[in-house]
Amino acid sequence: MKQKLKKITGAKHALAVSNGSAAIMAALAASGIGTGDEVICPPFTYIATIEAVLMLGGLPVFAEIDETLCLSAAGIEKAITPKTKAVCLVHMCGGNADMDGLMAVVKKHNLILVEDAGQAFAASYKGTATGLFGQAGAYSFDFFKIATAGEGGIFVTNDEATYKLADSFCDHGHDHIGNNRGMENHPVIGFNYRISELHAAVGAAQTRKVPYIRENNLRIKKQMQQVLSKVEGVSFAKLGDDNGDSGTFLNILMPDTETAKRTVDEMNAAGVGGFNYWFTNMYHFINQWEHIKNLKTASKLAIQVLGAPQDYNNLDIPKTQEVVGRLISFGIRCTWTNEEVNALAEKIAACATKAMKPVNA
């Protein structure tokens, strides 16, 4: 599984783990993120990104995203404090961030970059795979992603020392030297994030198909965009690099939040499925993260002792609210026929057109 992923991404080191959440946990831990470290994070991401920072003792600092659906360079710059140690960049919805802009800020402030590319395996930026710009990266292989193992994840890095730390961290601290597991040394304290052999076998078979899946995804996405671009007021999320899209999502931007909500209502009424309206999604957007905002935990975390670096209930993130409020995302299935693609695109277009009309018209 990891060998096939390394071939696709060009990563020097890869480690298969139990899930994408474990992969980002390992990426943060092996990069040295721990108790009291402020980590700049997006408020639009799968919740596991934030959970991993908190579980390691880190302190999430939320910054603005832009139309790439990822953290923006300006958003990171504004959120930096003297205590900032790292940026946890999430490549959302199959795309890629503006890496030139982001890396300029990261290097300027000498920050650690960790990439959660859980939704962006097979995406790249100017020839470099997402997940390989920072010290470490993570991919997810659950049912929602471009390749699935049923459940699984992969940690990647180009740094050997970081890889060795992750390798031990994900298996109870074992150094994996020698042929007697009971006699191995333990250079660090770790936990059990190992992937099962069954899931790894499924993941290996599915990873082989990724180039084919991506090729078809991109063809289908282009076909849908051609139909929807004819609807006045409909636009699409931006990409840091158009050539590096994985094609796993069609990300539509409506003119404003109210129009997006009406479009969602029209699609539900018309029986259109397979989309996410993240603005009201319970586990991808901070507006619904009451347990995070109010630090509701099973046991005491470092942030409850050290104090949160922001008032999570009163964040100043207007750009993020505006972008996510306008966003409707469709997962793309590579097996759709041309007829199915056109039928779906026409239904979406009709719903968007109807929602665009004045409320009292």
pLDDT score, position 272: 96
Q: Do domains 2-209 and 210-281+319-356 have the same CATH topology?
A: no
- Taking the C-alpha atoms of residue 313 and residue 324, their distance in angstroms, rounded to an integer, is 17
| CATH for the stretch 210-281+319-356 | 3.90.1150.10
Measured in degrees and rounded to the nearest 5, phi and psi for residue 91 equal: -90, 100
> What does the alpha-carbon distance between residue 252 and residue 229 come to, in Å, rounded to a whole number?
10
The predicted structure's pLDDT at residue 47: 97
- Does domain 2-209 fall under CATH 3.40.640.10? My reply is yes
The 10s digit of each residue's pLDDT in 52-102 is 999 999 999 999 999 999 999 999 999 999 999 999 999 999 999 999 999
Residue 361 has pLDDT above 60, yes or no: no
| Structural domain boundaries in the chain | 2-209, 210-281+319-356
DSSP, residue by residue, 67-105: TTSSB-HHHHHHH--TTEEEEEEE-GGG----HHHHHHH
**Maximum alpha-carbon separation in the chain:** 76
Per-residue pLDDT reduced to its tens digit, 31-56: 999 999 999 999 999 999 999 999 99
Could you tell me the pTM of the whole model? 0.96
pLDDT band at 358 (very low <50, low <70, confident <90, very high): low
pLDDT at 159 over 80: yes
